[in-house]
Amino acid sequence: MSTHVSETKIVRGACPQDCPDTCAFLYHVEDGKLVEVTGDPDHPMTRGGLCVKLKNFAEHHYNPDRLLHPMKRVGPKGSGQYERISWDEALETIRSKWTKIIEEYGSKAIMPHAYLGHQGTLNGLTSGDAFFNRLGSTIAEKTYCESGSSTAWIMTVGPTGGLDVESLAYSKYIIVWGMNMLNTNLHAWPFILEAREKGAKVVVIDPVRTRTAKQADWHIPIKPGTDGALALGMMNVIIGEKIYDEDYVAKYTLGFDELAARAAEFPPERVSEITGIPAEDIRTLAREYATTQPSAIRQGVAVERSPGGGDAIRLITMLPALTGAWRHVGGGTVEMPIWEFPFNFDFMCRPDWIRSDARVVNELDLGAALTGALELDPPIKSLFVYNSNPVSQAPNASQIVEGLKREDLFTVTSELFLTDTAKYSDIVLPAAMQGEQYDLMVTWGHLYVMLNQPAIDPPGECVSNVELFRRLAETMGFNDEHFRLSEDEMLMGSYDWSAPAMEGITLEKLKERGWMRLNVGMPDERAPHAEGEFKTPSGKCEFASSAAANGDFVVGVWRSGYEGSQPGTPVDAVPNYIPPEESPEVNPELGERFPLNLLSPKPHAFLNTQYGNEKTQQLRQGEQMIVINPDDASSRGISSGSYVHVFNDRGSFEAVAQVSDDVLAGMIVTNVGHWPGLNRTGTAVNSTTAPRHANLGQAGAYSDNLVEVRAA
């Protein structure tokens, strides 16, 4: 290996984080100690660069605050007072508590709560699903992120990867829509720069003049939650001026007439009123986007975080079929290319173990579920948290804390650190960190299979999630073969290794090389929908959705393999603009009391809450801050650098104000991810957010949040 330095052992790995980039790692190990983690310069997408969050990743493994042993609570819930116990005692406590709860209330009184703290096939999103299905617990619907976008995507184009992010280098017109790429998809940016060097124009659609927006050729500020109207306005112009690709539309799309009728209701003047974008800009955007080929749209997750998010993503996803952009290398759109990977979710989740009377509770409704605001029979008597930190990341956090304080709730958390959530647990279990475990990473921003191999042993008594659920299965007396499989056997079962996309890829080769590209065409030749071939029921890009008829839009994987239908808003076959619910226009009474729309996108130096407890990252990120427009600031007597109180009926937090016209009047922006317990008031942004769902996929509508601000 070229990077080999004497005495330093290099082990190949991959970033564990829930991020589209999944960087290729080189672990540097000396005398059994992880001394450095660097990027693999040979990886075509991530090119040896690691983001600011992962700069001190080796040290992160040795953070003195890491949980190293199981512990039991010895003080009041939330006090953080714990005492070391053995694994045996921890497991025995769980067994006896759960046995009693099951006898008295049934197994549905136990609820897991997990998300993407780790992004592995074995230790990530679906880790533990098989165990909890076998236990017969309540099924936790995991829709923190992308479930709205993915549902919309699948309804429109089917489970296809779409545009390869690396192919952006061949685009001539690039729209980054609702994504702060320089923070959240950093390794896509060089491909955009490459395109720009060849003359491409880069447009960013975002209510905030972000770091990314400042780099763009054209920043279009838009009122939050109105993207569906903008897409319809663009269609109005594109169809009205006949600059769409008639041949492509005729051959490869379904429902053009219905879509044209819908778009006709959205002339630029009307869309301007809704979005705050000048009508002439809407016309220019539509014309440039349609006539400059290949044109590309990089969709961010932020668009889904509003009540109409699902339909907005459907509309955005339709644009390249209307213009025929899919014909070209570098044309089309990308939500996340995860659908190219041949997962075997039934093997991972074991839906065959789901009982016929299973109950589903959405994780974003956790506060209501724990406090009884959501009536549940049986009630939740035990919560098992892993890979997630709901006290910081779930909406209506104050209600979650209220629920977690219940004396009759038995809470167990498996964690790396004593997070704001773990603090409320009766039992805390220590988890292994990425450099200490084996996994094949799930990637959602590029097309490489990435293997992470352990570089060092876990410290203390930390275990991977795989080992955690093996121990829990044994404790509960589950003798199933599934819980005795080796990690390689689990990986073999988790993918269809004989699928065309996996041709030539084997675990043996991955162990040697670390990563391999899926067999789905190279970035300079890939045009997956040049001739239609969409993965929808009709095989076409569905402007009128055939799936809309059957009423179930949640993608199965977010529900642990559970396929039953979920009551929700009926969905129109042809998407529409669905306005925000918390806006002064829609709800003047609420707007009178709470006139500002609060957005809470991702922090630059943290990964959700991870690294939020690291000094170096805290310095990079700074204190919790809000950005407020000069008009809104002066009318409230707020100046830059002063503390403000941000509040609504759900809760409050404090932050430092930064007065800037980077945000429009009528809105403010902060970031999610600061540890509530490290903030001034012990709270953070999710104390104010509503547990509201977007119109598809039960996604969170975090952006639909009216607040008021006053000097603290």
Ligand X SMILES: Nc1nc2c(c(=O)[nH]1)N[C@H]1C(S)=C(S)[C@@H](COP(=O)(O)OP(=O)(O)OC[C@H]3O[C@@H](n4cnc5c(=O)[nH]c(N)nc54)[C@H](O)[C@@H]3O)O[C@H]1N2
Q: Which does 536 bind (CB under 5 to 8 A by kind): ligand X, Mo ion, none?
A: none
The whole-angstrom separation of Cα 319 and Cα 333 is 9
- The tokens describing 81, both together, are 């007072």
**Cα–Cα distance between 48 and 24 in angstroms, integer?**
7
What is the rounded distance in angstroms from the CA atom of residue 282 to the CA atom of residue 290?
12
Minimum CB separation from ligand X for residue 307, in Å? 10
**Residue 547, contacted partner among Mo ion, ligand X, none, CB below 5-8 A by kind:** none
Does 227 contact ligand X by CB under 6 A? yes
Binding mask 9-48 for ligand X (x = CB under 6 A): ---------xx-----------------------------
Q: Which stretch binds ligand X (CB under 6 A): 91-99, 204-212, 371-379, 559-567?
A: 204-212
Binding mask 556-595 for Mo ion (x = CB under 5 A): ----------------------------------------
The nearer residue to ligand X, 298 or 327, going by C-beta atoms, is: 298
CB-side neighbour CA atoms (13 Å) of 664:
19
Tell me the window of 194-202, 206-214, 280-288, 495-503 that interacts with ligand X (CB under 6 A). Answer: 206-214
**Nearer CB in complex with ligand X: 205/349:** 205
How many residues are given for the chain?
Answer: 712
Verify binding: residue 558, ligand X, rule CB under 6 A.
no
CA angle at residue 667 from 664 to 673, to 5 degrees?
Answer: 115
What are the angstrom distances between the C-alpha of 670 and each of 473, 603, 629, 657, 667?
Answer: 42, 9, 13, 10, 10
- Say whether residue 168 binds Mo ion (CB under 5 A): no
393 in contact with ligand X (CB under 6 A): yes
3 state DSSP class of 475: helix
Residue 388 interface partner, choices ligand X, Mo ion, none, CB cut-off 5-8 Å depending on type: ligand X
Q: Which of 621, 693, 687, 631 is nearest to 654 (CA)?
A: 687
Looking at 3-11, 77-85, 91-99, 302-310, which segment touches ligand X (CB under 6 A)?
A: 302-310
Size of the site for ligand X (CB under 6 A): 62
Least Å distance, CB 211 to ligand X, is: 9
- Give the residue from 666, 682, 662 showing the smallest Cα distance to 674: 682
- Judged by CB under 6 A, which of 128, 148, 225, 403 binds ligand X? 225
Of 667-696, binders to ligand X (CB under 6 A) are: 669, 672-673, 685-686, 689
Q: Where are the beta strands (DSSP E) in 640-694?
A: 643-647, 652-659, 667-669
Q: Which is nearer to Mo ion, 37 or 145 (CB)?
A: 145
Using the contact rule CB under 6 A, the part of the chain among 192-200, 223-231, 476-484, 628-636 near ligand X is: 223-231
| Cβ nearer to ligand X, comparing 465 with 560 | 465
Confirm or reject binding of residue 366 to ligand X (CB under 6 A): no
Q: Determine contact, residues 128/345, Cβ cutoff 8 Å.
A: no
Query: Parallel, antiparallel, or unpaired for β 706-711 and 643-647?
Result: antiparallel
Look-up of token digits 């491909």: 191
Instruction: Please report how close the Cβ of residue 43 comes to Mo ion at its closest, in angstroms.
Output: 22
601 binds ligand X (CB under 6 A): yes
**Tokens standing for 473?**
């299965």
Stretch touching ligand X by CB under 6 A, among 94-102, 112-120, 271-279, 556-564: 112-120
Identify which of 537, 523, 534, 570 has the alpha carbon closest to the alpha carbon of residue 551: 570
Query: In this chain, which of 45, 139, 145, 202 binds Mo ion, going by CB under 5 A?
Result: 145
**Burial 416-452, CB ≥16 within 10 A → b, else e:** bbbbbbbbbbbbbbbbbbbbbbbbbbbbbbbbbbbbb
Structure tokens at 648: 């609504």
Cα 178 from Cα 175, distance rounded (Å):
9
Q: Which stretch binds Mo ion (CB under 5 A): 143-151, 241-249, 376-384, 638-646?
A: 143-151
Q: Would you call 52 exposed, middle or buried from its count of C-beta atoms within 10 A (0-12, 13-18, 19+)?
A: middle
Considering only residues 183, 362, 425, 629, which one is a binding residue for ligand X as defined by CB under 6 A? 183
What is the contact mask toward Mo ion in residues 501 to 520, using x (rule: CB under 5 A)? --------------------
Q: Quick one: which segment of 96-104, 137-145, 224-232, 559-567 binds Mo ion (CB under 5 A)?
A: 137-145
Is 115 one of the binding residues for ligand X (CB under 6 A)? yes
Q: Please, how many CA atoms are within 13 Å of residue 299, restricted to the half-sphere of its CB?
A: 34
Q: Which residue is nearest to Mo ion (CB)?
A: 145
**Residue 600 in contact with ligand X, rule: CB under 6 A:** yes
Looking at residues 234 to 273 of the shown chain, list those that interact with ligand X (rule: CB under 6 A).
none
Contacts of 635 (CB under 8 A, 6+ apart): none
**CA-only gyration radius of the chain, Å:** 25
Among 253, 382, 389, 399, binds ligand X (CB under 6 A): 389
Q: Which residues pair with 410 in a beta bridge?
A: 382
Contact 395, 700 (CB under 8 A): yes
CA distance 257 to 245: 14
Provide the binding-site residues for Mo ion, judged by CB under 5 A. 145
Provide the binding-site residues for ligand X, judged by CB under 6 A. 18-19, 53, 115-118, 123, 144-145, 177-180, 183-184, 205-208, 210, 222, 224-225, 227, 300-303, 305-306, 386-389, 393, 414-417, 419, 431, 465, 599-604, 606-610, 669, 672-673, 685-686, 689, 702-703
